[in-house]
Amino acid sequence: MRVLVTGGAGFIGSHVADLLAAEGHEVVLLDALLPQAHGREVPPWTTVHRFVRGDLRDADLLRSVLSRVDAVCHQAAMVGHGVDPSDAPAYASHNDLGTAVLLAEMHRARVDRLVLAGSMVIYGEGRYDCAEHGTVRPVPRAVADLEAGHFEPRCPACGRALVPGLVPESAPADPRSTYAATKLAQEHLAAAWARQTGGAVWSLRYHNVYGPRMPFGTPYAGVASVFRSALERGEAPRVLEDGRQRRDFVHVTDVAAANLAALSAPVVGFAAANVCSGEPHTVGDLAVELAKAMGGPEPQVVGGARPGDVRHIVADPAFARERLGFRARVAFAEGVAAFATDPLRAPAALSPPAVIDR
């Protein structure tokens, strides 16, 4: 199979490309290589594949690279929580306009299979149960509560403490950031395209991905990279809230394996699947394990929270296991220990906003 990987020079995209090639597929990489994300040098891992440098929003360029392509793994995106609301036009342009142009050109080229890099951020808060009211959706946490150190969401009906659970793909969407809103819009665009064209789409809702080639030293990177950056400076990782917020940290090689599975897994129209480890841990656990592996200072729990942060978001892996045959292989302790010395990718600049291709 000949597969176009958008964002193929980036963190996740490059691992997807390497695995596809190892499995005998012909791979074409497309990446804008913006200096904020990649520096000024072409990443060395691109040299083993056919590489095209260009912008996803360039329809003429897409028309040429989609020639004789059988499927697309769409990893390119501007990622991260967002540093400032003024980032919104850039997020919408790169993520949503770029996806719309890609889908239009796939239709013209008669390419009918798409694997989309989705995200768990579309869920907002995770699943919660109240002893009296069953499954409920908590309202966003109040700033006053966060400042007072009250971090757990409460039942909107009775105010009682809630018990967090696993989030299934059927959970209603509740994006809490510009990035999250654009990732949900990508899914809507892809689902509409599938209905209109008869195409097939898997959206893989990645949870907290970490591993080699992760962006380093930028506010747009994931928390694992932020903690490692601090430790390499000899500083203690700063853990927000009380460190007990739960996440699912999934290794990038497992994410690549999920993409490989989605290229051939049966699907009618559009379907979404959580891509996670199924082994939830707290953010504090991550900081402690990474500090131990790097021989650095113990983490500091500093309280507070960023606007839009959620408390707990842990996925149910059952659907991906059933429909994709996907099961994560890298255990948390093993992955974090390796991450302590994994080669990372340092962007050349932190401003303007970094377009980090997945």
Please tell me which residue in 128, 179, 206, 220 is annotated as part of the active site. Answer: 179
**What number of other Cβ atoms are within 10 A of residue 271's Cβ?**
19
Among residues 147, 287, 261, 114, which one has the least CA distance to residue 208? 287
Active site residue 179: yes
3-state SS string over 324-342?
CCCCCCCCHHHHHHHHCCC
Residue with tokens 């390499």: 232
Among residues 165, 156, 151, which one has the least CA distance to residue 132? 156
* Apex 127 CA angle, 121 and 131, nearest 5: 160
**HSE on the CB side for 46, CA within 13 Å?**
21
Q: Strands, E, within the chain: which ranges?
A: 2-6, 26-31, 50-53, 71-74, 113-119, 127-130, 134-136, 163-167, 200-206, 208-210, 238-240, 246-247, 249-251, 270-275, 281-282, 300-303, 314-315
Q: Which residues are catalytic?
A: 179
